[in-house]
């Protein structure tokens, strides 16, 4: 216990799924938490849950693509607790899935805007506070776009996740001078509500790959992972136990992507 004592963590997409599990996990280890999310009802419910567990947390409603809203959330955190030591840039959407030929530019760009620009904006606005005493940034990427490419219609999502994995590596080098570690987590199939954001094109089933993909190919456990399992990885990366680890992608997928690539 208390592995994150005196740490101030900002978690985007913290109202549900991996973000929620991570907020609770870090609070259990002594961190003070700021949850940033668009969904106020869910976000405030997580704050209540953390408080009932004896933790400390605040909620900031914000769209991660909105520069002012994200900047205000970071400023509120620093005003409340003095600084920021840990950032989890976790918020993301699946967005539209469609054959490339029929993919509207507007829909493709919307996924890039949320996942890439939103991640960039989150990291950018946190840096001035993280520079105070060093700290950690963890970005939620995905097996999609890094190890897995055979997903019908996922060109926008996979491209966005590949982009932010590369961004994390660039940031790791640039921010090392400030003693800020930057890593990315690449989850496979995790039991979350991310597919609430999916908008499936009616013609996506026209994509036919000339090979077979195992439907239930999750070698280690034969089932989807849990948000708490990803949260445990985030806890490690954010803790001092990972003090020599930066610029790295860590896959948490029960070896699924090794046979579904």
Q: Which of 103, 157, 167, 251 is catalytic?
A: 157
Among 6, 1, 2, CA closest to 135: 6
**Backbone phi, then psi, for 176, in 5-degree steps?**
-60, -35
Token pair for 156: 């926008």
For residue 174, what are the contacts with CB-CB under 8 A and spacing of at least 6? Answer: none
Whether 129 is catalytic is no
Q: Residue 216 and residue 239: Cα distance in Å, rounded?
A: 34
Rounded alpha-carbon distances, angstroms, from residue 112 to 16, 80, 115, 180, 230: 21, 32, 5, 25, 23
Q: Residue 56 and residue 62: Cα distance in Å, rounded?
A: 20
Q: Which residues are catalytic?
A: 157
């Amino acid at each position: 216990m208390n592995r994150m004592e005196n740490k101030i963590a900002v978690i985007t997409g913290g109202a549900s799924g991996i973000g929620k599990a991570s907020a609770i996990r870090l609070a259990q280890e002594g961190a003070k938490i700021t949850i940033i999310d668009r969904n106020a009802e869910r976000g405030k419910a997580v704050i209540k849950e953390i408080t009932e567990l004896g933790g400390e947390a605040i909620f900031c409603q914000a769209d991660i693509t909105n520069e002012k809203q994200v900047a205000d959330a970071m400023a509120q955190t620093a005003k409340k607790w003095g600084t920021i030591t840990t950032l989890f840039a976790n918020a993301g959407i699946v967005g539209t899935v469609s054959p490339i030929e029929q993919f509207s530019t507007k829909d493709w760009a919307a996924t890039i805007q949320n996942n890439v620009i939103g991640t960039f904006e989150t990291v950018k606005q946190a840096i001035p506070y993280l520079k105070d005493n060093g700290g950690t940034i963890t970005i939620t990427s995905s097996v999609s776009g890094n190890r897995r490419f055979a997903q019908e219609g996922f060109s926008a999502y996979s491209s966005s996740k590949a982009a932010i994995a590369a961004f994390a590596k660039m940031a790791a080098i640039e921010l090392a001078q400030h003693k800020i570690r930057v890593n990315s987590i690449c989850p496979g199939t995790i039991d979350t509500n991310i597919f609430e954001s999916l908008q499936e094109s009616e013609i996506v089933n026209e994509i036919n790959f000339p090979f077979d993909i195992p439907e239930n190919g999750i070698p280690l456990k034969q089932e989807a992972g849990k948000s708490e399992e990803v949260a445990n990885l985030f806890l490690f990366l954010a803790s001092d136990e990972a003090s020599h680890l930066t610029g790295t992608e860590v896959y948490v997928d029960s070896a699924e992507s090794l046979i579904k690539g």
